[in-house]
């Protein structure tokens, strides 16, 4: 009895996350039945789905942390594109140069995050505005420097073969990227639920004033969250170069909306203080299934956008409706 | 500005209370104007021969789309919200204007009306989702942006279409001797100044500065927010129509650059994401500041690819200045 009630309590506490997984599985089952050769009927399709979900999950890693802390990161597109461009320029498609290139690129990405954090914590600029400004600054920097003769046609060199293998290769039919994602997901989940820093992220997201009076270093934690977010975006940027086999301007643009959507569908509140990375992964998988489903049903991009919007709207409405009713 | 209010006390005595309705203009409200003068004098110092009528006309014509989008954004920001769907509505009306409008006067009138109705409808939906369903504005309008952008792509797949020539001639004509865009901006400013002092203008500020207190004072929060988003949608719809006429073609992605630029322009103009303060006139100045930065960079011989970077730096600078100004203002008020 107590086991059942504790499971029930667990489900009740994570209702949005569960709902998200249930919706994803239901959708996948429906496709498998309606269209033989898709979904569960075809391991290849399942693998493609997992890969797609991993990419969405990868770019949403930092966004999850930032949203839980009560912020938002609009600088994601050009942090990803900028680090990808740095990566290909530094390595020029050679594995040997990775030894110094990867630390430099990740340090650069963390620096972008640090600047965001300093602006939010010390200048008191709203996160949305600060990260919007950084995004514009990066856009200008990457495009401007790129026109200085480094790239042609907005493309910047080759990624090292090792990164390409990491992003597209498989081991025993299982993609490396999915394995990387599982490891990262475990690390971020442990960080959020089992460390003091993780707890502080929730606390400053719930109520920064109360957090400050409770002795939490709000400024330090904010800077920490944004720096970590920059680092994770850098990681995503590096892996993206391998996935696409190149770096190009605007390669991060489609991921801004997707990262927000994944985090929100996964049950996090846009106002901060709640959410989990497991939820985000559920959101990423649901989006991946939707994404793969729409071309199958011969739906153009226009209809995809409409459905995206409706799904996000529905997910948010459900989440807010529940939380206001409880309050 | 002072206002008087009479309350009849229980004892039958009339008690008259005087209280300030809105803080009077301080030096801190002039930050956008100072920045504007700074930027425009820099332009004229670098290129003195640009100080002529043609330049002003050119800038007014080119800037009206951003001014309209920023005006809409300002109203949403005033209530403490934000309207990202401006981009989607702008794209949708731009696509519609470029595909549906013919040269017949009746057809033009009909489609102008439909475009306005679309703007209103979009605003009603946003307002309903935000005010009644209580979805946070950022995510609600992000979702509706996606929906309207999808609709725009349904209407027009790639940039193209045609412009209704009579409408273009009408917009380009200058019956008063000055370009219509300048007349329009002037009308907008006058309308705003009247609106700001009206019942609904006060309510907009009240809801933005403290929703709970505004509610307790009898403000209809739902209607006020609805009004803000409906006006915002209408501005975006007209901006889409104007952009199509001005550029000469429609585009299903016409609105995307305006989402963030309109917010940035309003913020440079002293708006706050928290709502309740700022002024539409300052936002319009903010829009022109953003446009002039582009010119400045070109004149300085820097590649125009760096424009977003300078705009970003300027955004941080302006918001920091506004925050410092606001804090000083509060400190001064507390000391009194």
For residue A149, what pLDDT is reported?
Answer: 44
Q: Do A306 and B273 touch (CB under 8 A)?
A: no
Report percent pLDDT > 70 for chain B. 92
pLDDT-derived band at B307 (thresholds 50, 70, 90) equals confident
Q: Which stretches within chain B are classed as H helix?
A: 31-46, 53-78, 86-100, 105-127, 137-155, 165-172, 180-196, 199-209, 211-216, 221-247, 256-268, 280-299, 307-335
Least confident of A216-225, B49-58, B91-100: B49-58
Residue A281 phi/psi, 5-degree rounding, is -60, -40
For residue A320, what pLDDT is reported?
Answer: 67
C-alpha span between A275 and A193 (Å, rounded): 11
Q: Which tens digits make up the pLDDT trace of A233-243?
A: 999 999 988 88
Q: Is A310 in the B-facing interface, judged by CB distances under 8 Å?
A: yes
For residue B13, what pLDDT is reported?
Answer: 54
> Do B193 and B216 meet the contact criterion of CB atoms below 8 Å apart?
no
Predicted model pTM: 0.84
> Do B120 and B277 meet the contact criterion of CB atoms below 8 Å apart?
no
Residue A316 phi/psi, 5-degree rounding, is -70, -40
Instruction: Give burial (CB, 10 Å; 0-12/13-18/19+) of A209.
Output: exposed
> Do B74 and B192 meet the contact criterion of CB atoms below 8 Å apart?
no
Other CB atoms within 10 Å distance of the CB of residue B95: 28
Q: Is A124 in the B-facing interface, judged by CB distances under 8 Å?
A: yes
pLDDT-derived band at A155 (thresholds 50, 70, 90) equals low
Q: Do B323 and A305 touch (CB under 8 A)?
A: no
Q: For residue A242, what is the enclosing H or E element?
A: helix A218-244
Q: Which tens digits make up the pLDDT trace of B131-157?
A: 998 888 988 998 999 899 999 998 888
- CA of B250 vs chain A CAs: smallest distance (Å): 16
Q: Do A136 and B274 touch (CB under 8 A)?
A: no
Supply angle C-alpha A281, A285, A287, rounded to 5. 115
Kindly give the interhelix angle for B221-247 and B53-78, rounded to the nearest 10 degrees: 150
For residue A151, what pLDDT is reported?
Answer: 46
Beta bridge partners of residue A155, listed in sequence order? A152, A248
pLDDT-derived band at B22 (thresholds 50, 70, 90) equals low
Other CB atoms within 10 Å distance of the CB of residue A36: 11
Least confident of A288-302, B84-98, B302-316: A288-302
C-alpha span between A44 and A47 (Å, rounded): 5
pLDDT-derived band at A321 (thresholds 50, 70, 90) equals low
- Is the pLDDT at A319 greater than 60? The verdict is yes
> Do A88 and A156 meet the contact criterion of CB atoms below 8 Å apart?
yes
Residues of chain B with Cβ-Cβ distance to A133 below 8 Å are 264, 312-313, 315-316, 319
Supply angle C-alpha B266, B272, B275, rounded to 5. 110
Q: Is B307 in the A-facing interface, judged by CB distances under 8 Å?
A: yes
ipTM: 0.80
Closest chain A residue by Cα to residue B318: A125
C-alpha span between B82 and B263 (Å, rounded): 8
For residue B7, what pLDDT is reported?
Answer: 53
Other CB atoms within 10 Å distance of the CB of residue A86: 24
- Is the pLDDT at A326 greater than 70? The verdict is no
- Take residue A317 and report the two structure tokens written for it: 């409405």
- Scanning the structure block, which residue is given the tokens 């293998």? A165
For residue B24, what pLDDT is reported?
Answer: 59
More confident residue, A181 or A300: A181
Mean pLDDT rounded to a whole number for chain A: 85
More confident residue, A139 or B326: A139
pLDDT-derived band at B1 (thresholds 50, 70, 90) equals very low
For residue A327, what pLDDT is reported?
Answer: 44
More confident residue, B294 or B187: B187
Residues of chain A with Cβ-Cβ distance to B147 below 8 Å are 305-306, 309-310, 313
For residue A63, what pLDDT is reported?
Answer: 94
pLDDT-derived band at A199 (thresholds 50, 70, 90) equals very high
- Scanning the structure block, which residue is given the tokens 């907009």? B204
C-alpha span between A270 and A256 (Å, rounded): 14
Mutation target vs B (from A260, A302, A314, A324; most B CBs, 10 A cutoff): A302
For residue A185, what pLDDT is reported?
Answer: 94
C-alpha span between A281 and A34 (Å, rounded): 25
- CA of B217 vs chain A CAs: smallest distance (Å): 23
Q: What is the CA radius of gyration of chain A?
A: 20
Cα A221 off chain centre by: 20
Instruction: Give burial (CB, 10 Å; 0-12/13-18/19+) of B257.
Output: middle
Supply angle C-alpha B26, B32, B38, rounded to 5. 115
> Do A76 and A62 meet the contact criterion of CB atoms below 8 Å apart?
yes
Supply angle C-alpha B68, B70, B75, rounded to 5. 100
- Scanning the structure block, which residue is given the tokens 């030096």? B27
Mean pLDDT rounded to a whole number for chain B: 85
What is the average per-residue pLDDT within A219-230?
95
C-alpha span between B39 and B318 (Å, rounded): 13
Closest chain A residue by Cα to residue B129: A317
Q: Which tens digits make up the pLDDT trace of A2-13?
A: 777 777 777 776
pLDDT-derived band at A148 (thresholds 50, 70, 90) equals very low
Q: Which tens digits make up the pLDDT trace of A64-112?
A: 999 999 999 999 999 999 999 888 888 887 888 888 889 999 999 999 9
pLDDT-derived band at B322 (thresholds 50, 70, 90) equals confident
- Is the pLDDT at B111 greater than 70? The verdict is yes
Residue B82 phi/psi, 5-degree rounding, is -155, 150
Chain B, 122 to 161: residues with Cβ < 8 Å from chain A are 129, 133-136, 138-140, 142-147, 149-154, 157
Ramachandran region, residue A42 (left: φ > 0; alpha: ψ -120 to 50; beta: rest): beta
Chain A, 127 to 166: residues with Cβ < 8 Å from chain B are 128-130, 132-141, 143-144, 146-147
- Scanning the structure block, which residue is given the tokens 């650059």? B257
Report percent pLDDT > 90 for chain A. 36
What is the average per-residue pLDDT within A23-50?
80
Domains parsed from chain A with CATH numbers = 16-27+44-326 (1.10.3470)
Mutation target vs B (from A115, A130, A132, A133; most B CBs, 10 A cutoff): A133
More confident residue, B331 or B91: B91
C-alpha span between A263 and B181 (Å, rounded): 42
End-to-end Cα, chain A, rounded Å: 29
Other CB atoms within 10 Å distance of the CB of residue B65: 29
For residue B85, what pLDDT is reported?
Answer: 93
Closest chain A residue by Cα to residue B130: A317
Q: Is A27 in the B-facing interface, judged by CB distances under 8 Å?
A: no
What is the average per-residue pLDDT within A303-324?
78
C-alpha span between A255 and A291 (Å, rounded): 13
DSSP letter for A147, please.
Answer: I
For residue A183, what pLDDT is reported?
Answer: 93
C-alpha span between B138 and B271 (Å, rounded): 16
Supply angle C-alpha A119, A124, A125, rounded to 5. 65
A135-173 burial code (b ≥16 CB/10 A, e <16): bbbbbbbbbbbbeeeebeeeebbbbbeebbebbeeeeee
Q: Which tens digits make up the pLDDT trace of A266-279?
A: 888 888 888 889 98
Chain A, 232 to 271: residues with Cβ < 8 Å from chain B are 257, 260, 264, 270-271
DSSP letter for A171, please.
Answer: E
- Is the pLDDT at B284 greater than 90? The verdict is yes
| B147, B302, B305 ranked by CB distance to A306: nearest | B147
pLDDT-derived band at B230 (thresholds 50, 70, 90) equals very high
Closest chain A residue by Cα to residue B268: A129
């Amino acid at each position: 009895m107590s086991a059942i009630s504790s499971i029930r309590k667990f489900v009740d506490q994570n209702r949005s996350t569960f709902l998200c997984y249930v919706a994803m599985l239901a959708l996948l089952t429906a496709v498998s039945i309606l269209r033989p050769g898709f979904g569960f009927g075809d391991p290849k399709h399942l693998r493609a789905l997992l890969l797609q979900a991993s990419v969405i999950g990868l770019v949403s890693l930092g966004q999850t942390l930032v949203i839980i802390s009560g912020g938002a990161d609009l600088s994601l597109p050009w942090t990803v594109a900028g680090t990808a461009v740095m990566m290909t320029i530094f390595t020029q498609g050679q594995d040997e140069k990775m030894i110094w290139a990867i630390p430099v690129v990740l340090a650069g990405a963390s620096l972008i995050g640090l600047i965001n954090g300093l602006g939010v914590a010390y200048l008191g600029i709203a996160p949305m505005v600060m990260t919007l400004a950084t995004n514009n600054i990066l856009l200008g920097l990457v495009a401007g420097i790129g026109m200085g003769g480094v790239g042609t046609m907005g493309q910047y060199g080759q990624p090292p073969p090792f990164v390409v293998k990491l992003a597209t290769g498989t081991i025993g039919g299982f993609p490396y990227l999915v394995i990387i994602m599982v490891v990262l997901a475990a690390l971020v989940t442990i960080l959020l639920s089992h460390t003091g820093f993780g707890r502080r992220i929730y606390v400053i997201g719930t109520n920064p004033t109360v957090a400050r009076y409770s002795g939490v270093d709000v400024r330090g934690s904010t800077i920490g969250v944004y720096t970590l977010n920059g680092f994770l975006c850098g990681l995503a940027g590096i892996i993206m170069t391998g996935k696409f086999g190149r770096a190009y301007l605007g390669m991060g643009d489609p991921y801004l909306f997707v990262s927000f959507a994944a985090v929100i569908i996964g049950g996090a509140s846009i106002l901060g203080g709640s959410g989990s990375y497991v939820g985000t992964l559920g959101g990423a998988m649901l989006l991946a299934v939707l994404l793969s489903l729409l071309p199958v049903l011969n739906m153009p991009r226009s209809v995809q956008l409409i459905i995206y919007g409706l799904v996000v709207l529905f997910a948010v409405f459900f989440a807010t409706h529940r939380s206001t009713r409880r309050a | 500005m002072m206002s008087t209010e009479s309350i009849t006390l229980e004892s039958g005595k009339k008690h008259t209370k005087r209280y300030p309705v809105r803080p009077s203009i301080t030096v801190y409200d002039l930050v956008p104007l100072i920045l504007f003068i700074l930027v425009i004098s820099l332009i004229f110092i670098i290129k003195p021969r640009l100080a002529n009528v043609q330049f002003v006309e050119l800038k007014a014509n080119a800037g009206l789309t951003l001014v309209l989008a920023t005006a809409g954004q300002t109203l949403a920001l005033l209530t403490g919200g934000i309207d990202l769907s401006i981009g989607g509505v702008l794209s949708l009306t731009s696509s519609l204007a470029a595909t549906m409008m013919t040269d017949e006067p009746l057809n033009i009138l009909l489609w102008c009306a439909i475009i306005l109705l679309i703007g209103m409808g979009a605003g009603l939906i946003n307002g309903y989702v935000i005010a009644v369903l209580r979805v946070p504005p950022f995510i609600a309008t992000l979702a509706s942006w996606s929906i309207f952008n999808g609709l725009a792509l349904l209407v027009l797949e790639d940039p193209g279409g045609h412009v209704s020539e009579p409408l273009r001639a009408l917009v380009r004509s200058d019956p008063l001797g000055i370009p219509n865009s300048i007349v329009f901006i002037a009308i907008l400013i006058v309308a705003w100044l009247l609106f700001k002092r009206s019942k609904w203008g006060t309510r907009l500020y009240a809801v933005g500065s403290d929703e709970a207190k505004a509610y307790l004072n009898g403000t209809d929060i739902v209607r006020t927010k609805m009004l803000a988003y409906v006006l915002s949608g209408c501005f975006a719809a007209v901006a889409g129509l104007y952009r199509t006429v001005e550029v000469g073609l429609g585009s299903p992605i016409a609105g995307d650059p305006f989402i963030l630029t309109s917010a940035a322009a309003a913020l440079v103009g002293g708006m706050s994401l928290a709502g309740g303060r700022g002024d539409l006139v300052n936002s319009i100045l903010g829009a022109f500041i953003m446009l002039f930065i582009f010119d400045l960079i070109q004149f300085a011989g820097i590649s125009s690819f760096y424009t977003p970077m300078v705009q970003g730096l300027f955004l941080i600078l302006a918001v920091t200045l506004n925050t410092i100004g606001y804090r000083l203002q509060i400190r001064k008020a507390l000391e009194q």
